[in-house]
Amino acid sequence: MFNNTLQISCKKSDDFKYPLYSTVFSLVFVVGLCFNMVAVYIFGCTLKLRNETTTYMINLVVSDSLFVLSLPFRIVYFIKRDWMFGRFLCKISVVLFYTNMYGSILFLSCISVDRFLAIVYPFRSQTIRTKRNAKLACCTVWVLVLCASVPAGFLLDITSNSTNASTQFCFENYSKTQWQSAVSRVVVFMETVGFIIPLMINVFCSVMVLRTLRKSQTISRGGSLNKEKILRMVIVHLVIFCFCFIPYNINLIFYSLVRSNVLKGCDAEYVVRTIYPIALCIAVTNCCFDPVIYYFTSETIQSSIRRKSTAWQNGSKLYSSQNSPSTPKSMILRTLRPTEFDNESTI
């Protein structure tokens, strides 16, 4: 996204990024589309009740789905090395990328804070953990990420290849003047509000939850089984957050320093330009991992998937029984009966 024309003294090829991008983005598109369509089905058709956590998850799946649907444009661009879709779609694609990344970070932080309040302050937080407050938090997240991603996207413009005027570039053409003025300020805002503060919040909430779980009187209702589930939930959440977002955002900070001439030298520029495509590919996988967080974070979703799986299995048995002339009718009714009472969704 941020690749520029290098100084003459620092010219080094990073063309390896194009086959890397096209391969990884294609895999992310296929996997992310399947996973997020399943998530859309669960949230839209299966869950009849909503709580604070599912409110954050619904907004997260909207963000992921919009980003996944924009990937084919990028894949074609990285294969052809020529942007053929016009200036406006280039800007929209960049906006969706940053909206997804920092929206995901902030929505995951909301889930982490919600879990922290529910476990560490289960009684005092009842007036805070409401669906109304969750919706207000989601609106705030959307405003914040759009305030950062829209300027980032619309500062970027398509440019022509110096050797071939018919070739159009997108995602890689901020000038040094833009970096030293507007772009660096947008990056500072995104990194501070969209990464550093949420990272601190996630680590703090996770540590506090783990400390609470160590107390013998904690969660006596569920015993060790509940503690194991919550421990697994916290670890999965934190590992995915760190794996997807730390490499890209740390490298982006150094990249911004290099492009703004705060850090000087060809070696520094070569390192950040080499790491950037790898870190970016890791970052875009977040839309594939988010559904894993849905599963481990919400017992409602786990129960819903189990009920659907049971219903499908019973439906298959029922179909086989109906086609078998030796199966008594009473047995068919017994097979059908469990699915009739499995239609409720609990929180």
> Looking at the structure, do residues 271 and 219 belong to the same domain, yes or no?
yes
38 occurs within a structural domain: yes
What pLDDT is recorded for position 178?
Answer: 66
**66: which 2 tokens?**
């919009």
If DSSP codes are grouped into helix, strand and coil, which group holds residue 274? helix
73 occurs within a structural domain: yes
What is the Cα 27 distance to its own chain's centre?
A: 15
The pLDDT tens digits for 22-42 are 999 999 999 999 999 988 888
Is the alpha carbon torsion for 293, 299, 300, 304 positive or negative?
A: positive
> Looking at the structure, do residues 290 and 345 belong to the same domain, yes or no?
no
Residue 180's CATH number: 1.20.1070.10
> Looking at the structure, do residues 104 and 208 belong to the same domain, yes or no?
yes
Domain end, chosen from 281, 297, 313, is at: 297
> Looking at the structure, do residues 311 and 282 belong to the same domain, yes or no?
no
> Looking at the structure, do residues 136 and 224 belong to the same domain, yes or no?
yes
What pLDDT is recorded for position 324?
Answer: 57
6 occurs within a structural domain: no
By CB neighbour count within 10 A (0-12 exposed, 13-18 middle, 19+ buried), where does 284 fall?
buried
113 occurs within a structural domain: yes
What pLDDT is recorded for position 78?
Answer: 92
> Looking at the structure, do residues 110 and 246 belong to the same domain, yes or no?
yes
181 occurs within a structural domain: yes
Within a 13 Å sphere around the CA of 81, how many CA atoms are in the beta-carbon half?
8
107/64 Cα distance (integer angstroms):
11
Domain end, chosen from 297, 320, 339, is at: 297
Q: Where are the alpha helices (DSSP H) in the chain?
A: 17-41, 52-80, 86-120, 131-155, 176-178, 184-191, 197-214, 223-259, 266-284, 286-297, 299-322, 329-340
1 occurs within a structural domain: no
Spatial contact of 107 and 145, defined as CB atoms under 8 Å apart: no
Spatial contact of 318 and 332, defined as CB atoms under 8 Å apart: yes
164 occurs within a structural domain: yes
What pLDDT is recorded for position 169?
Answer: 79
- Domain of 222 in residue numbering reads as 11-297
> Looking at the structure, do residues 109 and 121 belong to the same domain, yes or no?
yes
Output the CA–CA distances (angstroms, integers) from residue 25 to 251, 254, 345, in the order listed: 20, 24, 35
Under-50 pLDDT residues of the chain: 4-8, 221-225, 332-347
Total domains present in the chain: 2
Spatial contact of 151 and 182, defined as CB atoms under 8 Å apart: yes
> Looking at the structure, do residues 194 and 293 belong to the same domain, yes or no?
yes
By CB neighbour count within 10 A (0-12 exposed, 13-18 middle, 19+ buried), where does 214 fall?
exposed
> Looking at the structure, do residues 176 and 228 belong to the same domain, yes or no?
yes
> Looking at the structure, do residues 239 and 252 belong to the same domain, yes or no?
yes
290 occurs within a structural domain: yes
> Looking at the structure, do residues 341 and 281 belong to the same domain, yes or no?
no
Query: Any idea what the Cα angle at residue 49 is, between residues 44 and 52, rounded to 5°?
Result: 95
pTM for this structure? 0.80
> Looking at the structure, do residues 272 and 221 belong to the same domain, yes or no?
yes
